[in-house]
Amino acid sequence: MIENKIELELLPKAPPAAPPAPMPPAPRAPVLKPAVAAPSEQAGPMATGLLAKLHEQRLEFTGTGSEYFRIWVVNALLTLATLGVYSAWAKRRKASWFARHTLLAGDGFDFHGDPRRILIGRVLALALLVCYGHAFEWSKGAGFAMLAVLYAFGPMLFAGAQRFKLGNTSWRGLRFGFQASAATVYASCLPLLVAWTVVSVGAGMGLGPIVIGIAGLAVGLLFPLAHGWLKRFQHRHARYGALEFDFELPVRKFYGLYLTLVGVGLLGGFVAGVIAAVAIGALKAVLGAQASLVAMFAPLATMGVLWVIGWPIYIARLQKLIWDNTRLAGGIEFAYQLPAFSLFKTVMGHGLLTVLTLGLYWPFLAVRIAKLRIEGMTVLSDEPLDALVVRAARRRGPGAVGDGVADAFGLDIGW
């Protein structure tokens, strides 16, 4: 699940080949063709949505379920037969398969990650999680020591994973990239990390339920903001070749997204609860005592229904929110259009097939979802993408010391 989420989110993200940097005075990007950037865009970033871009280029996904099925089977078999070691190679294959079947202006993306680093990253992440998960059971001291380790290295690891993902993704022979100062890394990742750990830390310290409850509430209220910060962090420091991405954080829209979700959750939970109650009543009449067993599944079923309804809405809105506010130097913007309903239909219909086939249909479903999500993105530019020549970020030479140090963390920690 985790992996999936990360990857799918990544894919549409990776392709960001081209949106616009509307700020007239300080284009962050050494674009080759300066003419592109500015003259008409006096209004600055806020107005960019109103300025029609002349050229639209939609992402295209050409992978088929039948091919992914074979890849999935071979990957799973080899992973199992090697007791998990092969999973890193499997992940590389999967990531490059999705990347190479994602086309922008006729050219595919590619993924170059070194499986050995993926493997190291996985072992490291597993070790961290296991230690963190049990540290407070051993002793308070161990718990806090583990927490310190997590706070100290977590953000760097996250940034490293980001660098790994983007730095190993390419389009038209140029790599994407990610570069952020240590201060930015900590400032952007710590809030979410604290939010993630605060409740368990509270419990570990033996604080009362009220204190923990208040902390949990605060986390809930601030979560959308922290999520927005993280997205801004990911998108502001990314680049394609020498072109830099930028991201304008719409705080209110992040809150709007989460409010919508809460609304959907409440409404859906209520409706599902009523339906479940009626259904169980009916079942009791038919099945007698067996019904109590069925009732056990009611909360589970309700959760399932909520997820099936909520997840498409979340994904569709989040991606739109993110991409509508992301731009790339060189006058490139993005538009993201994914009808939540078509995602919902796919998850429903094909999800059912997946369940009925005991999961064997899963690769087909994965490809359908990926296609919907990837093809929801359009790259808008002032001139045709083919005419926009982008240069590589910088010659890779032995001189780049800072890069080398940072690369110690350039591991993939996704699952």
Partner 1 sequence: MRSQSYTATARWFDGVENRPQEVRVRLSRHHLEFMPWPPRPQASSSMPPSEAELAASRPSLPGLRRYTRKGLSVGEWWRGSPTPVGLPDGGTLWVPADNAMGRALGGQSLTTQLISSWAMSLCCLVALIALVAWFDRQGAGLLARVALPLVPKQLDIAVGDKVEQEVTARWLKPSTVAPARQAALRQRFEEIAGRTFPGQALKLRFARLGNSGGFNAFALPNGTLFLLDGMTQDLSDDEVMAVLGHEAGHVKHRHAMRHLVQGIGLVAVAGVVMGDFSTVAASSMASVQTLRYGRNAEREADAEAQRLILREHLPNETLVGVWLKLRDAMRREGHTSEGVEWLSSHPPISERLESARRAAQNADPVR
Least CB distance to partner 1 at residue 242 (A): 10
Of the two residues 70 and 345, which places its CB atom closer to partner 1 in the complex? 70
- Report the run of H or E that residue 3 belongs to, with start and end: helix 2-13
Binding mask 41-70 for partner 1 (x = CB under 8 A): ---------------------x----x-xx
Residues 136-155 that bind partner 1 (CB under 8 A): none
Residues 258-277 that bind partner 1 (CB under 8 A): none
Residues 220-249 that bind partner 1 (CB under 8 A): 241
Question: CB neighbours (10 Å) of residue 397?
Answer: 7
Asked whether position 84 contacts partner 1 by CB under 8 A, the answer is yes
Handedness of CA 264, 265, 267, 268 (dihedral sign): positive
Q: Which residue in 79, 184, 337, 346 binds partner 1 (CB under 8 A)? A: 79
Asked whether position 256 contacts partner 1 by CB under 8 A, the answer is no
- Residue 20 CA to residue 325 CA, distance in Å, equals 11
**What's the one-letter identity of residue 356?**
L
Least CB distance to partner 1 at residue 89 (A): 8
Least CB distance to partner 1 at residue 304 (A): 9
- Which residues make Cβ contacts (< 8 Å) with residue 122, sequence separation at least 6? 87, 88, 412, 413, 415
* 161 close to 10: Cβ distance less than 8 angstroms: no
Residues 168-197 that bind partner 1 (CB under 8 A): 170-174
- Residue 42 CA to residue 52 CA, distance in Å, equals 14
- Residue 15 CA to residue 251 CA, distance in Å, equals 24
Structure tokens given for 70 = 């074979």
Of the two residues 218 and 387, which places its CB atom closer to partner 1 in the complex? 387
Asked whether position 134 contacts partner 1 by CB under 8 A, the answer is no
Q: Which residue in 43, 293, 352, 400 binds partner 1 (CB under 8 A)? A: 293
Q: How far is CA 315 from CA 8, 308, 413, in A?
A: 10, 11, 22
- State the DSSP string of 191-233: HHHHHHHHHHHHHHHT--HHHHHHHHHHHHHHHHHHHHHHHHH
* 323 close to 361: Cβ distance less than 8 angstroms: no
Cα within 13 Å of Cα(218), Cβ side? 13
Q: Which residue in 153, 223, 255, 415 binds partner 1 (CB under 8 A)? A: 415
Of the two residues 50 and 137, which places its CB atom closer to partner 1 in the complex? 137
Burial of 256 (C-beta count, 10 Å sphere; 0-12/13-18/19+): middle
Choices 8-16, 96-104, 271-279, 375-383; region in contact with partner 1 by CB under 8 A: 96-104
Q: Which residue in 47, 80, 214, 221 binds partner 1 (CB under 8 A)? A: 80
Asked whether position 93 contacts partner 1 by CB under 8 A, the answer is yes
3-state DSSP assignment of residue 378: strand
Choices 90-98, 145-153, 220-228, 329-337; region in contact with partner 1 by CB under 8 A: 90-98
Choices 153-161, 165-173, 205-213, 340-348; region in contact with partner 1 by CB under 8 A: 165-173
Of the two residues 77 and 277, which places its CB atom closer to partner 1 in the complex? 77
Look-up of token digits 């583990």? 146
Q: Applying CB under 8 A, what is the total number of residues that bind partner 1?
A: 50
Asked whether position 311 contacts partner 1 by CB under 8 A, the answer is no
3-state DSSP assignment of residue 168: coil
Interface with partner 1 by CB under 8 A: which residues? 1-4, 32, 62, 67, 69-74, 76-81, 84, 87, 93, 96-97, 100-101, 107-108, 110, 112, 170-174, 241, 288-290, 293, 354, 359, 362, 366, 389-392, 396, 415
